[in-house]
Amino acid sequence: MSTTTVTKSPAQTGGSRPAAAPAAEGRIGLRANLRHIGALARRNALQIKQDPESMFDAVLMPIIFILLFVYVFGGAIAGKGHNDVYVNYVTPGLMAMMGMNIAMGVGTGINDDFKKGVMDRFRTMPIARSSVLIAKIVVEVGRMLIATAILLGMGFLLGLTIHTSVLHLFAAIGLSMVFGAALMWIFILLGLTMKTAQAVQGVAMLVLMPLQFGSSIFAPPTTMPGWLQTFTDYNPLSNLADAARRLINGGPVAHSVWMTLGWSVVITVITAPLAVAKFRKKT
């Protein structure tokens, strides 16, 4: 006579089912990684479509800033009746400023997504952790392009003139996008480190204000005290503003371009791995 051994399931024995193990990231190929980035970028873009108010800063900020600085400071800096001269000075500088302000919003958005539990869901999926952050940057670069296009459109209405060529203008836009994307890694790391979105905004403003106003964005550094001119010379925003300005207006541009690209590489190489590591460990 044979006997049959029956193994009871946890439900039959009254025990609980074993918890499902979280998906491991493992090694993900380049093609799969790009596919994940595309899917997540589409998700972020659809979020903007469902919440059009999130585009207000990208649409209205360039209009307000260029009108404010041209008509409030233009006469004082370029001379009364020479606002058109100041437009050609300040518009390339504002291209640098747009990237930094939009980058700040990335940090608050990442912080808010963690509060809602969205990022915890992403971390249980078999996708590269970096793809979540890169997808966020891809969409924000798109918002930056929209803001820059509106800024330039307003600049042309106010008298902006391209003294070089359209290719040089596109080079200035591309340089602004590269540097803006690098800055986003800083603010992503900040958003993953700070406890609240308000704290991210507060710390970001402490960084933004000295960098923006202690630069060549709004006024020539020659009018500043010596110690501030030294700070301005090493300020990456000054390098970007000078590069964009010379690409549009003409002049020696190689030093400013290479300095901007160098800053972009250094910022990305240092902060991107830190941001991905923080994303993996954040609770």
- The answer to whether residue 12 is domain-embedded is no
Task: Report the pLDDT value the prediction gives residue 73, as an integer from 0 to 100.
Answer: 78
Task: Report the pLDDT value the prediction gives residue 1, as an integer from 0 to 100.
Answer: 43
- The answer to whether residue 186 is domain-embedded is yes
- The answer to whether residue 58 is domain-embedded is yes
Task: Report the pLDDT value the prediction gives residue 79, as an integer from 0 to 100.
Answer: 64
- The answer to whether residue 156 is domain-embedded is yes
Task: Report the pLDDT value the prediction gives residue 196, as an integer from 0 to 100.
Answer: 85
Position of tokens 């958003």? 191
Question: Quick count: other Cβ atoms within 10 Å of Cβ 108?
Answer: 20
Q: For the chain, which residues score pLDDT lower than 50?
A: 1-25
Provide the whole-model pTM.
Answer: 0.82
C-alpha distances in Å from residue 80, one per residue of 32, 67, 75, 83, 90: 58, 16, 4, 7, 16
Range of the domain at 85: 31-37+53-281
Q: In whole angstroms, give the CA distance from residue 85 to residue 71.
A: 12
102 and 65 Cβ atoms separated by less than 8 Å: no
Q: In whole angstroms, give the CA distance from residue 57 to residue 264.
A: 24
User: How many distinct structural domains can be found in the chain?
Assistant: 1
Question: Quick count: other Cβ atoms within 10 Å of Cβ 282?
Answer: 14
- The answer to whether residue 21 is domain-embedded is no
- The answer to whether residue 11 is domain-embedded is no
- The answer to whether residue 69 is domain-embedded is yes
Task: Report the pLDDT value the prediction gives residue 48, as an integer from 0 to 100.
Answer: 81
Task: Report the pLDDT value the prediction gives residue 16, as an integer from 0 to 100.
Answer: 41
- The answer to whether residue 2 is domain-embedded is no
* Beta carbons within 8 Å of 21's beta carbon, 6+ residues apart: none
